[in-house]
Structure formats: C-alpha cells, structure tokens
Amino acid sequence: MSGFTSTGAEAAGSPPKLAPERLRAEQEATLATPRRRYGPAARALFVLLDVVYGKPRSLSKFKVLEVIARVPYQAWEQVAYVAVTHRYSRPTFARRIFDRVGESRAQQDNEQWHLLILEDLVERSGKRENFVRYRLFPQLIALVYYHLSWALYVISPAWSYALNVDFEDHAEHEYALLSRSTRSGTGHPTRARSLRSTAPFRPWPTSSARSAMTSASTRSRAWPACRSRGSASAHASRSA
C-alpha cells in the first residue's frame, strides 16, 4: 500500500508498477466498485478505528492501518513453520507449505515498507502524535488481530484469508478516496531520511494511488486462496 519503489521492495512484495495515468484509471475503477460485504470482525475493527482516530482520512490513521496490515501474514508464516516441522517427512507437501511461508514473508516486507514510508511522511508533516493513541494502542490492536488471524487459520484457513480480504478491500477503497481528495496537490520527490535507500518517494497523491493498487493486488491474490489453497492450508494448520 505505498508509492515507494525500489529493487529490493519490488522483488519482495511484487507490487503493481503502473504509470500515473493508469494508476488514476485503476483508482477510479476501484471507487466505482462496491465494497465487499465485510464480516463481523472486519466491521468491528473499522468501527473501532473510526471511533479512536476519527472518520477523516489522515496520514496518521493510515499508518495505524499499516501497523495492523502486517500481522495476518506473520500469523500465517508462524503456523506454516510449525506445520513444516511436523510434515518434513513428506517433502512435496512440506515444500508446498514452505512456498506459503515465502509468500507470507514477501507480503510482510511489502507492508513494512508502507509503514516506514508513512512514518517518514508523518514526520515530515510536522504533526505531533499522541504516544498512547499512535504507538501503544495500534500495537494492542495488532496483537489482538494477530491472534484472531492465527486462530481462524488453525480452525479454517479460508476464514483467515477472508478476513484479510476484507481488510485489504477496505484499505484499497480508503487509499483511493484519499488519493482522489489530494490529487490536486503537487509535490516533489523527497528522500527518506529513515531508510537507507536512494529511491525517491512519489508525491503523496501518486503514492496513495499506488497504495490502493497494491491493496487491490493483495486482495486479488488472497481471495482465490480462500478456495484454491484451502486443502493444503487446512492440513498445515491442523499440523500446527
């Protein structure tokens, strides 16, 4: 969910790489698409975020989203590693599980880049964030979300995948709306002081459009997984 592009990030997270005009077209396509019918857990999370951080879209609120966005992939990776430990005597099946580990780790890296970029943008904006609201509470939400994703994955991987699809669909639409509202703004690429990279940041409207596209890409991969990977994932989770 970001506009940052570098060789390492591309290899890890494999985000979509589109020209600004195509990004705007995809953004409008996102906004023309109805949101998913979110499940109870996802709806509760979104309501909680609106209550604590307000309904207006802000860099700080999106940073909280990115803190939470990483944890389903961490949960899936942890379950898969335990499953490999139990199933290494079946090399073919263990390899299939390990492939899921690699994919989950790549998504974690992708979300981590988004978080670092947003942190840098918030710092550059000069906003002073409350420590409890923007540091401690997001970690608490992420902890609960991690254990929920883990438990759902163990019970039924499709349920955990579906929860993540809800989250990514929400993020895709929210980033697209933010990009539309800030599109008139112009900016110059800046360099991240907190990252050891020479790749420039995109202006924020382009950055948020790319974020929406990355969320869409993640969602499109996750939803088929609810069905096509159900069998292997179910065996993996039961092994855990």
Task: Print the SS3 string covering the chain.
Answer: CCCCCCHHHHHHHCCCCCCHHHHHHHHHHHHHCCCCCCCHHHHHHHHHHHHHHCCCCCHHHHHHHHHHHCHHHHHHHHHHHHHHHHHCCCHHHHHHHHHHHHHHHHHHHHHHHHHHHHHHHHHHHCCCCCHHHHHHHHHHHHHHHHHHHHHHHHHCHHHHHHHHHHHHHHHHHHHHHHHHHHCCCCCCCCCCCCCCCCCCCCCHHHHHHHHHHHHHHHHHHHHHHHHHCHHHHHHHHHHC
pLDDT exceeds 70 at position 141: yes
Decide which of 129 and 236 is more confident: 129
Any domain includes 210 = yes
Span of 46-60, 145-159, 194-208 with lowest mean pLDDT: 194-208
Report yes or no on 2 lying in a domain: no
Neighbour count for residue 11 (Cβ, 10 Å): 10
- The answer to the question of residue 207 being in a domain is yes
How many folded domains does the chain comprise? 1
Could you tell me if residue 217 is inside a domain? yes
pLDDT of 148: 97
Q: Is residue 183 part of a domain?
A: yes
pLDDT-above-90 percentage for the chain: 38
Asked if residue 96 is part of any domain, the answer here is: yes
Q: Domain containing 104 — which CATH number?
A: 1.20.1260.140
Host domain of residue 196? 7-239
- Local confidence band at 86 (pLDDT 50, 70, 90 cut-offs): confident
* Domain assignment of residue 187, yes or no: yes
Residue 207 has pLDDT above 70, yes or no: no
Name residues whose C-beta falls within 8 Å of residue 80's C-beta, 6 or more positions apart in sequence. Answer: 97, 98, 100, 101, 104, 236
Q: Across residues 198-206, what is the average pLDDT?
A: 41
The reported pLDDT for the residue numbered 211 is 52
Residue 201 has pLDDT above 80, yes or no: no
Is 229 within the bounds of a domain?
Answer: yes
